[in-house]
């Protein structure tokens, strides 16, 4: 069971080693969770007036709906970790208002467009049944997802463990002297940067050259052992006289002779820097996409086909898995405080994440518990 149980006497409606599901009003249950305890909030709240169901028509005005959603957002802001992410679904009609409201408390990164289809890519089918001549605006074929992070999230990550100060120290006392030494030796030996690129096996394209990686003041890259040896051979081959003395290195010998000591130092510095970088990455908001998955702000996913027990607003598992895998790490906790029939919780389990769900409708939460229990068995 997740270790994020509310501190009150509220008991889970369903719980296993991955998932905890609560039955009740989210505004009553969310205050019981610890601050900064959730890594990903993925929520699909009522859209207001889109469905005929009572739960989507509770508010007399748009202002009343946004006031309710703002109360939820204040709790999301409190319980979301400094490096956490928020994804909030919204209808096309309300998305602009929801984005502005969330922007008061979070940094809005994207308004994603989910372009829905029936599995063939030919649309949802609803547009084919609509009388085009009676339309007074274009047929709504999309939904919106507002993607946010905590305000100043990157600055908070940089500030942790004095990362920025440590980077400055490494650059000033490690990278810059070695870069200056390499550049000095290059000029003394009269070696063109193109020759260095060729020796290191870099293609002659901008941004991928050894001369940019190792010889530019703006770079934070130390030579690899392979590239160091290639440069050493090149410099020794064209060197005409011993290099001048340099602190901490042997002054005797041909060009790069003193780099036998540097080579060892560089490897230690590389480990130090890489450890710092990994430490920083663990503090940053996770975000992992590739060309194999949707990485633009327009997504194409098939809708969930009709069937027994289907929630009228149920989101497809592939879409939910995409969000979870892109914006959380294995073992972290995903929250859905409008859990419906439990699709987000099921997707989180499939991705190896813990999850917490809150749902007030007894019929849907019973369905969600049955769904999760059955999935757990298999």
228-273 pLDDT tens trace: 778 878 877 776 444 443 333 333 333 444 444 445 555 566 666 6
CA–CA dist 343, 357 (Å, integer): 10
pLDDT tens per residue across span 25-78: 999 999 999 999 999 999 999 988 778 788 878 899 999 999 999 999 999 999
Q: In the chain, at which residue ranges do the beta strands (DSSP E only) sit?
A: 14-15, 19-23, 38-43, 80-90, 106-117, 142-150, 298-302, 333-336, 354-359
pLDDT tens per residue across span 268-313: 666 666 777 777 778 889 999 988 888 999 999 999 887 777 787 8
CA–CA dist 259, 103 (Å, integer): 53
Q: Which helix (H) or strand (E) holds 189?
A: helix 176-189
CA 261 vs CA 53, 150, 264, 279: distances in Å: 74, 45, 6, 28
Tell me what pLDDT residue 198 has.
84
**pLDDT over 90 percentage in the chain:** 45
Q: What is the pTM of this model?
A: 0.73
Task: Identify the CA nearest to 143 among candidates 300, 345, 292.
Answer: 300
Tell me what pLDDT residue 127 has.
60
Tell me what pLDDT residue 358 has.
97
CA–CA dist 287, 285 (Å, integer): 6
* CA-CA-CA-CA torsion sign (341, 343, 344, 349): positive
Which residue reads 């063939």 in tokens?
A: 120
Contacts of 352 (CB under 8 A, 6+ apart): 330, 331
113 and 70 in contact (C-beta within 8 Å)?
no
147 and 111 in contact (C-beta within 8 Å)?
yes
Cα angle value 339/284/217 (rounded, 5°) = 155
106 and 82 in contact (C-beta within 8 Å)?
no
At 232, list the tokens.
């050493």
Tell me what pLDDT residue 256 has.
46
Provide mean pLDDT across the span 110-139: 78
Provide mean pLDDT across the span 353-365: 94
CA–CA dist 324, 352 (Å, integer): 10
Higher-confidence residue of 350 and 168: namely 350
Tell me what pLDDT residue 14 has.
95
Higher-confidence residue of 103 and 4: namely 103
154 and 204 in contact (C-beta within 8 Å)?
no
pLDDT tens per residue across span 185-236: 788 778 888 888 888 887 665 444 555 567 776 655 667 777 777 887 887 7
Helices and strands, number each (H, E), in the chain: 13, 9
**What CATH code is assigned to 14-151+285-377?**
3.40.50.150
Name the pairing type of β-strands 14-15 and 19-23: antiparallel
Cα atoms in the 13 Å half-sphere on the side-chain side of 67? 7
pLDDT tens per residue across span 78-90: 999 999 999 999 9
At 289, list the tokens.
């996409």
Tell me what pLDDT residue 226 has.
78
Tell me what pLDDT residue 166 has.
65
Contacts of 297 (CB under 8 A, 6+ apart): 110, 111, 112, 113
Range 97-129 burial, b when 16+ CB lie within 10 A, else e: bbbebbeebbebbeebbbebeeeeeeebeeeee
Name the packing angle between helices 343-350 and 362-377 (round to 10°): 20
User: Side by side, which strands form the sheet with 354-359?
Assistant: 14-15, 19-23, 354-359, 333-336, 38-43, 80-90, 142-150, 106-117, 298-302
Domain extents for the chain? 14-151+285-377, 162-283
Tell me what pLDDT residue 261 has.
47
């Amino acid at each position: 069971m997740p270790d994020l149980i509310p501190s009150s006497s509220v008991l889970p409606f369903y719980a296993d080693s991955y998932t905890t599901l609560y039955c009740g009003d989210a505004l009553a249950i969310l205050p019981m969770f610890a601050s900064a305890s959730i890594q990903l909030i993925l929520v699909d709240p009522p859209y207001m007036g889109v469905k005929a169901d009572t739960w989507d028509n509770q508010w007399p005005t748009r202002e009343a709906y946004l006031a309710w959603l703002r109360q939820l957002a204040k709790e999301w802001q409190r319980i979301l970790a400094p490096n956490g992410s928020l994804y909030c679904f919204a209808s096309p009609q309300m998305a602009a208002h929801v984005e502005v409201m969330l922007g008061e408390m979070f940094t809005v990164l994207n308004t994603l467009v989910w372009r829905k289809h029936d599995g063939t890519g030919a649309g949802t089918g609803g547009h084919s049944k609509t009388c085009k001549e009676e339309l007074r605006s274009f047929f709504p074929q999309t939904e919106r997802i507002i993607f946010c992070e905590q305000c100043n999230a990157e600055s908070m990550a940089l500030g942790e463990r004095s990362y920025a100060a440590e980077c400055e120290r490494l650059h000033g006392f490690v990278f810059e002297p070695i870069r200056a030494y390499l550049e000095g030796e290059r000029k003394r030996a009269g070696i063109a940067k193109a020759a260095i690129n060729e020796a290191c096996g870099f293609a002659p394209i901008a941004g991928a050259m050894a001369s940019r990686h190792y010889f530019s003041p703006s770079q934070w890259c130390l030579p690899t052992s392979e590239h160091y040896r290639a440069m050493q051979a090149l410099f020794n081959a064209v060197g005409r006289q011993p290099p001048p003395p340099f602190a901490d290195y042997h002054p005797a010998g041909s060009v790069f002779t003193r780099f036998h000591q540097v080579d060892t130092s560089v490897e230690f510095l590389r480990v130090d820097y890489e450890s710092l970088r990994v430490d920083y990455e663990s503090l940053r908001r996770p975000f992992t996409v590739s060309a194999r998955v949707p990485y633009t702000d327009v997504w194409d996913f098939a809708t969930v086909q009709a069937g027994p027990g289907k929630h009228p607003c149920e989101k497809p598992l592939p879409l939910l898995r995409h969000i979870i895998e892109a914006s959380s790490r294995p073992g972290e906790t995903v929250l859905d405080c409008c859990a419906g029939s439990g699709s987000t919780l099921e997707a989180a389990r499939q991705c190896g994440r813990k999850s917490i769900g809150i749902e007030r409708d007894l019929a849907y939460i019973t369905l969600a518990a049955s769904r999760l229990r059955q999935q757990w068995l298999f």
